[in-house]
Structure 1
Amino acid sequence: MSTGTQMDIYEVLEYLPHRYPFLLIDRVLSYDPGKDIVALKNVSINEPFFGGHFPHHPVMPGVLIVEAMAQAAAILTFKTLGTKPDDKSVYYFVGIDGARFKKPVSAGDQLILKVSFLRNLRGLWKFSATVEVDEQIVAEAELMCTVREL
């Protein structure tokens, strides 16, 4: 991954419309518009999904890991476009290919989300993404997203 500028939570909030309990990016460690982004999600036992998934063995749902990848991709998209989202458009997640979950994610883990831009064809953005915990890949997928006017 390339090195670039970092983003604290306050700048992340400017680029994502998500809020608790659905904001899944805590910090951006680096980004390079048009190339890649590395973001961080701290997984706390206080996450609302742990109470039901699963009470006897808390595991972060895979769908939320994929959503965290998509949120990192959204930030990269807007940084690449040189704009911020507004209330006149929505960033949609439109496809997932090759999603694989290699290891469960538990409370106390720190997700390192690595998303690389692959292409933009007619407004359809495609990314390759991996998620690491302790330098081991726990999930990976190719994501497709688009920005649409409301």
Structure 2
Amino acid sequence: MKYRQIDRITELTPGQRLVGERTLAADEEYLADHFPRFPVMPGVMMLEALHQAAVWLVRMSPEFDSALVLLREAKSVKFGDFLSPGETLTVEAEIFKRDGALTIVKAKARKGDRTTVSARLILESCSSGDPEHLGTDADVQRLSREQFFSLFSDSPAAMALRRPGENISPTMTPHSV
């Protein structure tokens, strides 16, 4: 995942809610063009932070059961404020409704008490579609779990999800899933 938009997960209630944080660094490559004299996080990257938080929430609901979680639609997207280098987004994702494979997530990001972006995201949980004997879905689920612990090993959410005796190194290389 080249543009990881969640630095850490601070709260997690599987099947219900996830809260994470993202601090914008001054050396992020896209800031050179967006904008040279007034660097701010592009709106699409703030929306991606909502998307990534929602995907992690759905993946962990109940526990990495779906191989794939796809964004089907972003509704009612509203932008409210800029995010400049050194500032931190607090990203909240809450499951609003489940209907079969579809999950509607209400998500918002804020800096301090000001909303930067909010949206309703419609996500679909599904399999890869590969034949079961190939083990693709099981591999993707395992890699998703490893990626979660690699990215968020120091968060309270990761510690709570660890299985007894599970040894997942926080120094693993994150996989794109």
* Same-fold call, TM cutoff 0.5: yes
The answer to whether 1:82 aligns with 2:63 is: yes
Higher-Rg member (1/2): 2
Equivalent residues of 2:59, 2:69 under 8 A apart: no
The answer to whether 1:136 aligns with 2:114 is: yes
> The residue matched to 1:81 in structure 2 has which SS?
coil
Q: Name the TM-score, length of structure 2 as normaliser.
A: 0.68
The answer to whether 1:113 aligns with 2:91 is: yes
| Aligned residue type for 1:99 | V
Aligned-pair identity (%): 23
Identify unmatched segments of 5+ residues in structure 1: 1-17
Q: Provide the rounded CA distance (Å) in 1 between the counterparts of 2:14 and 2:102.
A: 16
Equivalent in the alignment of 1:53 = 34
How many residues align? The count is 128
Q: CA deviation at 1:134?
A: 1.6
| Aligned residue type for 1:113 | V
Query: Which structure shows the higher helix fraction?
Result: 2
Query: Which structure shows the higher strand fraction?
Result: 1
Q: 1:72 aligns with which of 53, 59, 62?
A: 53
The answer to whether 1:27 aligns with 2:8 is: yes
Identify unmatched segments of 5+ residues in structure 2: 129-177
| Aligned residue type for 2:36 | P
Q: 1:93 aligns with which of 65, 71, 75?
A: 71
Q: Provide the rounded CA distance (Å) in 2 between the counterparts of 1:110 and 1:131.
A: 10
Structure 1 vs Structure 2 CA RMSD = 1.4
Q: 1:145 aligns with which of 123, 129, 153?
A: 123
The answer to whether 1:125 aligns with 2:133 is: no
Q: 1:42 aligns with which of 11, 15, 23?
A: 23
Q: Provide the rounded CA distance (Å) in 1 between the counterparts of 2:30 and 2:71.
A: 21
Q: CA deviation at 1:84?
A: 6.3
| Aligned residue type for 2:16 | K
Q: CA deviation at 1:74?
A: 1.0
**Structure 1 moving runs of 4+ over 6 Å:** none
